[in-house]
């Protein structure tokens, strides 16, 4: 990596070591384009015996115009008549600047392997984007001081979105800004666009019919009663819901209809004696075209806890998917969801498969490989429909006979913190590291 030092003249010069010439075969005093993020300028390339091999001198006016942060070491990559300085990676993490500041310590996990990534790394919010000026306000990482500094900077070369706009008033603003960023950066924005549970189902259905619970869109109460009549038990979920919120489990019990749901991590149950009574409940709590109705997957339970699995994956420095860990999730006792945020707990999948399913080591390995195969095939199908993913969390259901079902694909912010909760710190940091390696790769470095 190179240290960029300011050349205190305004004559658009780039001076490198004579022995280096950045791998170019061209001559000194050649005009080249230098690019940082999406900004570029033409400079005159010089070589000098007085410059060390790991440093370059750049006119101070060029540094200012391109917004280069000289506190960071950079790679310089040559493409014909262009020299790219980078990487310059932006992490769109929140909707507001205040929230970014509050969460600042958590972003240190992205820079733990900084010496292998290098370049400028920024975290910012939707609020921090100034489309008219072409600038962003956010926090830039200072590698020597190991702190985040509030700065104004140009648009980066790559953006990873981990923002969660679902069910917020900022949904529209988020998509407006993301469309603008995507227009500027092209294919260098990942974990975007977003898709709903219903869109996921429609994309996967042709290839994964046997791994998907039958699902239909809620348009009126008749849809619920038809699915109940067919399956006896269904789940109702918001199309863009998260964290197990606003989920209902409906069971037809003879003439009765039982509706189970959680409020503030406490289980509730309503029992109705006929369809008309239950229909009033549904009409009060549901919005047409905003919920889906899903056949209940026969998940295994253990000591009144429902169990499912999370497969954590990320792209590496070559843009290839890797399985970084598989974890079992135990729902809180008596609750209808397995979400950790709803009071559940997690552990390594292998431990659960041995202790609850009573599988031998070879059977565990075979089943985990099968889960991985299903997940990677599903991701390829999603990406084939135009969605650019970089890291995911796929929820997998498993019944008593080890039949696999795809429950959900988490792509807005598939947080690897589940690995920390399962005491798998290495996998957590590996996930963050792979995120940054993929961003670096995507930027051309």
- pLDDT tens figures, 309-325: 999 999 999 999 999 99
Give the whole-angstrom CA distance, residue 57 versus residue 96. Answer: 37
C-alpha 432/C-alpha 107 separation (Å) is 10
d(CA 43, CA 62): 8
Structure tokens at 343: 């009071």
- Whole-angstrom distance, CA of residue 69 vs CA of residue 44: 20
Q: Are 378 and 355 in contact, with CB atoms under 8 Å apart?
A: no
What is the rounded distance in angstroms from the CA atom of residue 429 to the CA atom of residue 314? 12
pLDDT at 252: 93
Q: Which residue has the tokens 């791998």?
A: 23
Q: 214-295, what's its fold?
A: Dna Ligase; domain 1 (3.30.1490)
Q: Where are the domains of the chain?
A: 3-85, 88-190, 214-295, 299-442
Fold of 88-190: Rossmann fold (3.40.50)
Q: Is the peptide bond before 193 cis (omega within 30 degrees of 0)?
A: yes
Q: Which residues, in sequence order, are CB contacts of 93 under 8 Å at separation 6+?
A: 100, 103, 107, 123, 124, 125, 162, 163
Digit-coded pLDDT (tens) for 342-397: 667 899 999 999 999 999 999 999 999 999 999 999 999 999 999 999 999 999 99
| Residue 411 near residue 389, CB atoms below 8 Å | yes
**What tokens appear for 364 in the block?**
């565990």
Q: What is the CATH number of domain 3-85?
A: 2.40.40.20
Write out the chain in H/E/C secondary structure: CEEEEEECCCCCEEEEECCCHHHCCCCCCEEEEEEECCEEEEEEEEEECCCCCCEEEEEHHHHHHHCCCCCCCEEEEEECCEEEEECEEEEEEECCHHHHHHCHHHHHHHCCCHHHHCCEEEEEEEEEEECCCCEEEEEEEECCCCEEEEEEEECCCEEEECCCCCCCCCHHHHHHHHHHHHHHHCCCEECECCCCHHHHHHHHHHHHHHHCCCEEECCCHHHHHHHHHHHCEEEEEECCCCCCCCCEEEEEECCEEEEEEEECCEEEEEEECCHHHHHHHHHHHCCCCCEEEEECCCCCEECCEEEEEEEEEEECCCCCEEEEEEEEEECCCCCCCCCHHHCCEEEEHHHHHHHCCCCCHHHHHHHHHHHHHHHHHHHHHHHHCCCECCEEEEEEEECCCCCEEEEEEECCCCCCHHHHHCCCHHHHHHHHHHHHHHHHHHCCC
Q: What is the largest CA-CA distance in the chain?
A: 90
Task: Output the CA–CA distances (angstroms, integers) from residue 81 to 16, 41, 65, in the order listed.
Answer: 16, 12, 20
Q: Which CATH number fits domain 299-442: 2.170.270.10, 1.10.443.10, 3.30.470.20, 2.170.8.10?
A: 3.30.470.20
Write out residues in the chain with pLDDT < 70, as ranges.
20-28, 167, 241-245, 334, 338-343
* pLDDT (0 to 100) of residue 368: 98
Spatial neighbors of 140 by CB under 8 A, at least 6 apart, are 69, 120, 121, 122, 148, 149, 151, 153
What is the phi/psi pair of residue 76, to 5°?
-120, 115
Summarised one tens digit per residue, pLDDT across range 116-129 is 999 999 999 999 99
């Amino acid at each position: 990596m190179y240290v960029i030092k300011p050349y205190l003249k305004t004559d658009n010069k780039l001076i490198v070591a004579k022995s280096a010439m950045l791998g170019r075969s061209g001559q000194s005093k050649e005009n080249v384009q230098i690019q940082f993020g999406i900004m570029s300028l033409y400079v005159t390339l010089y070589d000098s015996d007085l410059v060390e091999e790991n440093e370059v001198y750049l006119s101070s006016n060029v540094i200012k115009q391109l917004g280069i942060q000289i506190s960071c070491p950079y790679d310089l990559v040559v493409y014909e008549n262009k020299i790219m300085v980078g990487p310059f990676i932006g992490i769109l993490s929140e909707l507001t600047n205040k929230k970014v500041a509050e969460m600042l310590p958590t972003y240190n996990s992205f820079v733990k392997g900084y010496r292998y990534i290098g370049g400028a790394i920024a975290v910012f919010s939707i609020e921090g984007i100034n489309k008219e000026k072409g600038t962003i306000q956010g926090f830039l990482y200072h590698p020597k001081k190991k702190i985040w500094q509030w700065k104004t900077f140009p648009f980066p070369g790559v953006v990873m979105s981990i923002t969660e706009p679902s069910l917020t008033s900022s949904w529209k603003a988020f998509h407006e800004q993301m469309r603008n960023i995507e227009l500027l950066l092209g294919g260098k924005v990942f974990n975007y666009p977003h898709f709903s549970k219903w869109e996921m189902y429609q994309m996967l259905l042709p290839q994964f019919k046997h791994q998907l619970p039958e699902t239909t869109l809620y348009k009126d109460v008749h849809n619920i009663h038809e699915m109940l009549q067919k399956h006896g038990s269904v789940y109702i979920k918001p199309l863009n819901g998260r964290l197990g919120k606003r989920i209902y489990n409906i069971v037809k019990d003879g003439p009765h209809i039982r509706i189970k749901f959680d409020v503030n991590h406490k289980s509730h149950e309503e029992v109705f004696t006929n369809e008309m009574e239950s229909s009033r409940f549904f009409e009060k709590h549901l919005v047409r075209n905003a919920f889906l109705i899903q056949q209940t997957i026969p998940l295994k339970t253990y000591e009144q806890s429902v169990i499912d699995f999370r497969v954590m994956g990320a792209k590496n420095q070559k843009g290839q998917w890797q399985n970084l860990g598989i974890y079992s999730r135990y729902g809180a006792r008596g609750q209808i969801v397995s979400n950790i945020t709803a009071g559940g707990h997690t552990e390594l999948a292998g431990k659960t498969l041995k202790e609850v399913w009573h599988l031998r080591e070879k059977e565990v390995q075979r089943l985990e490989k099968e889960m991985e195969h299903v997940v990677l095939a599903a991701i390829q199908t999603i990406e084939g429909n135009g969605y650019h993913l970089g890291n995911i969390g796929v929820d997998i259901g498993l019944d008593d006979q080890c039949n696999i079902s795809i429950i959900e694909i988490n792509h807005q912010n598939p947080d690897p913190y589940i690995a920390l909760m399962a005491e798998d710190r290495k996998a957590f940091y590996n996930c963050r590291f792979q995120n940054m390696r993929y961003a670096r790769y995507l930027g051309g470095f």
